[in-house]
Structure 1
Amino acid sequence: MLDFRRLHMLRTVAARGSIAAAAQSLALSAGAVSQQLSALRRDVGVELLRPDGRTVALTEAGRVLLEHTDRILAAVQEAESALAAVKGTVGTTVTLAALPSTVSGIVGPALTALGSDHPQLVVTCLVTDQAQLRELTLGTVDVVLGQRYHHLPDATPRGVEVSPLLDDPLLVVTAADQGDGRPVALRDLATRSLAVPPPTTDCGQAILHAFRQAGFAPTSRYITADTGAQLTLARAGLATALVPRTAIDPATPGIRTAPIEDRPIMRQLFAATRHTETANPTTTAVIAALRTAARQGLPTRLPAT
């Protein structure tokens, strides 16, 4: 009989590209993963992986087994959710992956509420902007607080269920003495020195796309994905920043914010879980807390576009 834990290792190696990378994500040694994969190869009687330069790739038999593995592990997830639903209680552990820009405005209040409503639940929070949905499909995390910019096509992986939380506009941020808070036309930013995320990030791509649509190339003097650094540069009068509304504490001194009036840059924040026919009470509680925090934060935050 196939061991589904070994199947999970095979899927992880296929996704990570190497045994070493898979071992790191599974918190195991490379030798332990190799031993389990060797045992899986003996179980099926055929090679499942082959060297591919510095990485490994699936053989034809490996690809066939991986297709079935996805269905097997999905069935295990479905069984776990169904049993949790029968118990009807929130569990004791859950792992949440969240964007750095959502920690203060949404994640912090949500975790506080969860601690009050479900004191037995221990939430491990991974703050990262890298490949969260892939981690969800691999089972590394249970809930993702992610983003999608409106100009990009939906790239939700198969087997992932997305719950929209809110539309979050980027605001123009300057030093307090450099603006009046009135809406800003995007072309007005053409001559300003900007602090923006790298073009390799979703936010950076969205900003570049909006500028191109407005007919100009930005003067990006400071390139950083750290919203705290962007706000510091804006507060010092060194640059104009474009920062998501939920990433800005309205009590931050020394800055002024304004909406973009003509070509707003908007991201949708969402909560995502692995799809199951039966809702899991634990992940349902986490998403409910995130949704409440997102909605409650809006009226007291900075002006919307």
Structure 2
Amino acid sequence: MLDLRRLQLLREFAEQGTIAATAASLGYTPSAVSQQLAALEREVGAQLLDRSARSAELTETGRLLAEQAEQILAMVEAAESVLAEQRGVVTGRVTVTAFPTGAVAFAPRLAERLRRHSAMQLVLRQTMEGSGVRQVSAGEADIALVDIWTGRPPDTGAGKIRHELLLRDPMVLAVPEDHQLADPARPVELHRLVGESWIAAPQGEPSRYGTDALLADVGGAPAAAWEFEGLATILGLVSRGIGIAAVPALALTAGTTGLAFRRLPGEAPARGVYASVRAASLRRPAIDVTLRALRRAAGDVQRDLAEVLDRIPGA
């Protein structure tokens, strides 16, 4: 009998490519991963990894088993979901990961709606941008709240992952409270702001796509733009007069003082906020009630965003 946890390790190794990356992804030590994969080789009776002093890669047998592991693990989860559905009782632990501003906005609403299900446990974790879908795919999380700036939904992994659009979150301009644009009578003209000190996420971060799209028609983001990770950090710097920034409207929930916000001219770039979940787990009652709670919470968040945007001076 093949050990399912070891199959999960093999599948993760196939995705990550190294023992160290697999260990970091799943929260193990490299030594533990190596030992478990060696134990799997003994179970199978074949070499799965071709090891050298500095690296390891899958053998042909290892690649074949990793492909089968994907299907085996999905079938096991689907069977567990059907059995849970038959029992009709909402039980078990559901792990939700979310990007930071999504976690802040959704956590209280989600907890309020799920607390009546006393036999289930909700775990909500903040995650690094861009890693939510990978965590769901690897089985580290059940549902991920992910933000997508491209206008296209995330990849489904050949149907393995389902994505549901929950809301759209437009960008707004954040400036220090003593900035000239803190005066609502002054128009927001992007071409006049190119010379400002812009603070943006580093290249490759999801929110940087929104800043680049916003400034594309006026020459793009300045080459000397300050780059910092994390919207809370960016807003803190803006509040200290270091520069200006374009941020998602959900960032207004951070409560940072010393800031003024303005709506952007035209159709501002917006991110889509999606709930991503493994297709094999959709029939689990706990997953179903959590997704329904997320949909209702998203409706509340969208209404709150609309009210906040109505109070922000226009361009």
TM over 0.5: yes
What is the Cα deviation at residue 143 of structure 1? 0.6
Q: Tell me, in whole angstroms, the C-alpha distance in 1 between the residues paired with 2:288 and 2:224.
A: 41
Matches within 5 A, 1:52-201: 54-114=54-114, 116-128=115-127, 129-151=129-151, 154-158=154-158, 159-178=160-179, 179-181=182-184, 184-201=188-205
Q: Which letter does structure 1 place at the counterpart of 2:81?
A: S
Which residue of the partner structure matches residue 238 of structure 1? 242
Listed one character per residue, the Cα deviations across residues 127-179 of structure 1 (whole Å, up to 9, x for unaligned) are 11242211111101111000111356743423000111001111101123432
**1:59-91 CA distance string (max 9 Å, x none):** 111111111111111101111111111122222
Distance, in Å, in 2 between the alignment partners of 1:201 and 1:270 is: 17
Check conservation: 1:181, 1:257, Cα contact below 8 A. no
Structure-2 separation of matches of 1:253 and 1:234: 10
Q: Which runs of 5+ in 2 are unaligned?
A: none
Cα distance in 1, alignment partners of residues 263 and 52 from structure 2: 50
Residues paired across the two proteins, number: 304
Q: Once the 2 structures are TM-superposed, how far is the Cα of residue 213 of structure 1 from its aligned partner?
A: 4.0
* Identical pairs, percent: 31
SS of aligned partner of 2:309: coil
Provide closer, same or farther for how the CA distance between residues 181 and 70 of structure 1 changes in structure 2, counting only shifts above 3 A.
farther
Rounded to whole Å, the distance in 2 between the matches of 1:209 and 1:63 is 40
**2:309 maps to amino acid:** P
Deviations 1:210-260 (A, max 9, x none): 323443432654321222222222223332121111121286543221222
Could you say what the CA RMSD is over the residues aligned between the two structures, in angstroms? 2.6
Q: Which one-letter code corresponds to 1:126 in the other structure?
A: R
The answer (yes or no) to whether the contact 1:174–1:256 under 8 Å persists in 2 is yes
Q: Distance in 2 between matches of 1:216 and 1:27?
A: 39
TM-fit CA distance, 1:268: 0.2
Aligned partner of residue 47 in structure 2, secondary structure: coil
Amino acid at match of 2:266: D
Q: Structure 1 residues 106 and 224, CA, compared in 2 at 3 Å: closer, same or farther?
A: same
**3-state SS of the aligned residue for 2:8?**
helix
Offset from partner CA, 1:242-290 (integer Å, 9 cap, x none): 1111121286543221222225111000111101385221122222222
Moved more, 127-136 or 230-239: 230-239
Classify 1:31/1:71 alpha carbon distance in 2 versus 1 (closer, same or farther; 3 Å). Answer: same
The residue identity in structure 1 corresponding to 2:296 is: T
Q: TM-score, normalised by structure 2?
A: 0.85
Tell me the equivalent position of 1:3.
3
Q: Following TM superposition, where does structure 1 have runs of at least 4 consecutive aligned residues deviating by more than 6 angstroms?
A: none
Partner of 1:117, secondary structure, is coil
Structure 2 CA distance for partners of 1:91 and 1:61, relative to 1, 3 Å: same
Any unmatched runs of 5+ in structure 1?
Answer: none
CA–CA distance in 2 between the matches of 1:44 and 1:38? 10
The TM-score, its normalising length taken from structure 1, stands at 0.88
Question: Secondary structure of 1:168's partner?
Answer: strand
After superposing the two structures, state which structure 1 stretch, 229-238 or 95-104, moved more. Answer: 229-238
User: Which of residues 218, 222, 238 in structure 1 aligns to 2:222?
Assistant: 218
State the AA in 2 paired with 1:207: T
**Residues of 1 paired with 2:8 and 2:297: CA distance?**
34
